[in-house]
Amino acid sequence: MTKRSMISIGFIMLLTIVTVHAVAETDACGKTMTPEQKIQRALDVQAVTNVASRHEYYHSALMHAEEFRDIWAQNTAGVSWTNNTDRYVGVADLKRFMIDGLPKDKTGILWVHNMSTPVIEIAGDGKTAKGVWFSAGTVSGSMGGTPMAAWTSEKYGIDFVKENGKWKIWHLHTFVDYYTPTDKRWIDEGGNMNSREVESKRKDMENKLQTGVKEEPGVSFDAMRPTERGEYYIGYDLKTVPVMAPKPPEPYCSFDKATSF
């Protein structure tokens, strides 16, 4: 064994020891954790992080069919994707949104959604996990036949479930603050494609539902009928007041639908 290998092994052992001692002595169910359970908890956090990141790599390559097959829950009821105004629930509706609605010609499309600032909690029972991320990025492509590029700012809230020993995305919620063409500012009137209309123009709920992102370069969301429609998050404008949404998860024992994303 080389000196470099010995140093690497020593570093890994030290990191493992530090990680184990950094984990709480008891889980969120109030049970004392063994060193092995603490190590598993640390491994689960890393695995969840990888799944969330893989989502972005698949998304950037428009490989949604492969993404759904590889990292989304297949055997757990209620799989869903939610944005500010639309929610897709169940395998059939989710596939229609994620896969069937993709453009046939992917030429010229560039979607980049970087994820940062994670807060991740593994359930005390080890069956589910929750995480939130900030995401800034850019999207480029054709909208209505016209080339277009936009800045994006959003946040992710994701519920994960462990199926056959592997972590999978169960509920994904994007909290979109703005999609803004690169030749505009998100504070300009009409500059944020995801802003809510001013109060004087909101006559009823249907008007509110028309203000969400319905198209991004390369794909139109109007072609993908949601399972449910509502006001799940309000995009940024000069009248919005900052709120903590999604809320970073707190330690929890088992999944509670009331805090689901």
The pTM score is: 0.83
The full set of domains in the chain, from first to last, is: 7-259 (3.10.450.50)
For residue 157, the model assigns a pLDDT of 98
For residue 17, the model assigns a pLDDT of 47
Distances (CA, A) of 82 to 6, 158, 197: 48, 10, 20
Q: What is the full per-residue pLDDT of the chain (261 aa) written as tens digits?
A: 665 655 555 445 445 544 544 557 899 999 999 999 999 999 999 999 999 999 999 999 999 999 999 999 999 999 999 999 899 999 999 999 999 878 888 899 999 999 999 999 999 999 999 999 999 999 998 877 788 899 999 999 999 999 999 999 999 999 999 999 999 999 988 888 888 753 334 334 444 444 455 556 655 555 568 999 999 999 999 989 999 999 999 999 999 999 999
Question: What's the rounded Cα separation, in Å, for the pair 144 and 197?
Answer: 22
Question: What's the rounded Cα separation, in Å, for the pair 21 and 44?
Answer: 16
Contact 76, 170 (CB under 8 A): yes
Residue 149's H or E segment, with its range, is strand 146-163
- Tokens describing residue 188: 């300009």
For residue 9, the model assigns a pLDDT of 54
For residue 52, the model assigns a pLDDT of 98
For residue 196, the model assigns a pLDDT of 74
For residue 203, the model assigns a pLDDT of 38
Contact 111, 218 (CB under 8 A): yes
For residue 25, the model assigns a pLDDT of 87
